[in-house]
């Protein structure tokens, strides 16, 4: 009897739907992406560049440069179809959730209201985003300062 329970417990841990997790309909995902795109990334966005910079703590061209770099580096950020042949979240949604959590220090469930991304997916996006940033930009920007850098920073400060 104990072996049967253990076998059934192990089978519950192997993928599939998770009890208690909320499913976000693909139509809702698409609407979230469309709203995000119109608000910030369209030719004539709803919000000004100053508002974009305040919301994301960077300029739009830098945001798009980072998005292109992480899409090229990590396939997690490339939109693909899931097992049911439904398109997954857009890269813009995944990166925006990560940026919002980092820039504003908000919890993962807070970004769901605007970006339309679940809490677990937001956390996973944040992990992939941070790892990608470290791997892509780490050698250039995360190096130890040299004496000329220190002298320049001291002169500025």
Q: Is residue 91 part of a domain?
A: yes
User: Is the pLDDT higher at 52 or at 7?
Assistant: 52
- 5 belongs to a structural domain: no
Q: Is residue 132 part of a domain?
A: yes
Show the domain range for 118.
Answer: 25-156
Is residue 62, in this structure, part of any structural domain at all?
A: yes
Measured over the CA atoms of residue 103, residue 107, residue 112 and residue 113, the dihedral's sign is: negative
Q: Is residue 49 part of a domain?
A: yes
Provide the pLDDT confidence category of residue 82 given band limits of 50, 70 and 90. Answer: confident
Q: What pLDDT band is residue 99 in, cutting at 50, 70 and 90?
A: very high
User: Is 117 within the bounds of a domain?
Assistant: yes
Which backbone phi and psi does 87 adopt, to 5 degrees?
Answer: -60, 135
Per-residue confidence band for 12, with pLDDT thresholds at 50, 70 and 90: very low
Tally the domains of the chain: 1
Q: Which helix (H) or strand (E) holds 87?
A: none
Residue 64 lies in a domain: yes
């Amino acid at each position: 009897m104990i072996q049967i329970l253990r076998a059934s417990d192990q089978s519950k841990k192997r993928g599939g739907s998770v009890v208690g997790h909320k499913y976000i309909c693909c139509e809702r995902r698409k609407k979230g992406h469309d709203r995000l795109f119109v608000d910030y990334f369209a030719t004539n966005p709803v919000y000004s560049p100053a508002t974009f910079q305040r919301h994301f703590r960077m300029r739009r061209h830098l945001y798009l440069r980072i998005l292109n770099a992480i899409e090229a580096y990590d396939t997690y950020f490339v939109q693909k179809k899931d097992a049911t042949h439904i398109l997954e979240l857009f890269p813009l949604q995944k990166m925006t959730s990560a940026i919002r959590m980092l820039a504003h220090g908000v919890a993962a469930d807070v970004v769901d209201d605007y970006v339309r991304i679940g809490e677990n997916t937001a956390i996973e996006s944040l992990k992939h985003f941070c790892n990608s940033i470290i791997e892509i930009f780490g050698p250039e920007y995360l190096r130890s300062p040299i004496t000329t850098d220190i002298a320049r920073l001291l002169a500025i400060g």
